[in-house]
Amino acid sequence: MMWALVLSIVVLDQITKSLVILSFALNESRPVIPGLFHFTYVRNTGAAWGMFGGFNAWLAFFSAVVLCVLILFRRSLLGNGPLARWSFALLVGGILGNCLDRVRWFYVVDFLDFFWKESHFPAFNIADSAIFCGVCLLFFSSWSQSHQWQRDSDPMKVEPSPPSAG
C-alpha cells in the first residue's frame, strides 16, 4: 500500500509536469480562478521558494541522500505507526518526483500558482504538495506520540477506581 502511494505520487507528478511543458510556454499563466489561482509554467533551479537557485546538481545529490536515509532508517526516524507510513510514502514520492526533474531537465517544473491581491505564494507542484503533507503528517504523528507517552508515563495520573457495589 505504501509503495503504491509512492508510485501514484511520482506518476501523477510527472504526468502533470509533462502536460504543463507541452501545453504552456515558459512563464505563461492561465487563470483557473481569476485573482486567486492560475496555472503558471515556471522552472525552478533551486529548492522551496527558489532558495539556493542555480544549485540544481547539489540539490539532486542532497535529494538522493535524503531518499537513501529515509528508506534505510525509516522505522528509527519515523516510527512504524500508520501515520508514519503515510508520511514516509508522501515524502518519498514527493522527493522522487522533484529529483527526477532535476536529473532529467536540470530544473523542477512548478505550475500551481496561488495569490491574493498583492500577496503571491511561489508556484509549486504535486511533488511539493506531497512533501508538505508528509512533513505535516510527520509533525502531527510525532506530536501525538509524545502526548500519548506523556499521558502513559505521568506519575501523577490517577487511574479511576471501579465503582463500588453498594
Specify whether 128 is catalytic.
Answer: yes
Cell of 128: 511539493
C-alpha closest to that of 74 among 58, 62, 90, 50 = 90
User: What pLDDT is recorded for position 146?
Assistant: 64
Specify whether 110 is catalytic.
Answer: yes
141 and 84 Cβ atoms separated by less than 8 Å = yes
Backbone angles phi, psi at 112, to 5 degrees: -90, 115
Cell of 64: 538522493
Q: What is the pLDDT along the chain (166 residues), one digit of tens a residue?
A: 889 999 999 999 999 999 999 999 999 999 999 999 999 999 999 887 777 888 889 999 999 999 999 989 887 777 778 888 899 999 999 999 999 999 999 999 999 999 988 899 999 999 999 999 999 998 888 777 665 555 555 555 555 666 666 5
Among candidate residues 13, 101, 113, 128, the one labeled active-site is 128
Among candidate residues 13, 101, 110, 113, the one labeled active-site is 110
Residues 6+ apart with CB under 8 A from 152: none
User: What pLDDT is recorded for position 165?
Assistant: 64
107 and 43 Cβ atoms separated by less than 8 Å = yes
Helix (H) or strand (E) segment spanning residue 69: helix 56-72
> What global pTM score does this model have?
0.82
Domain ranges of the chain: 2-117+126-146
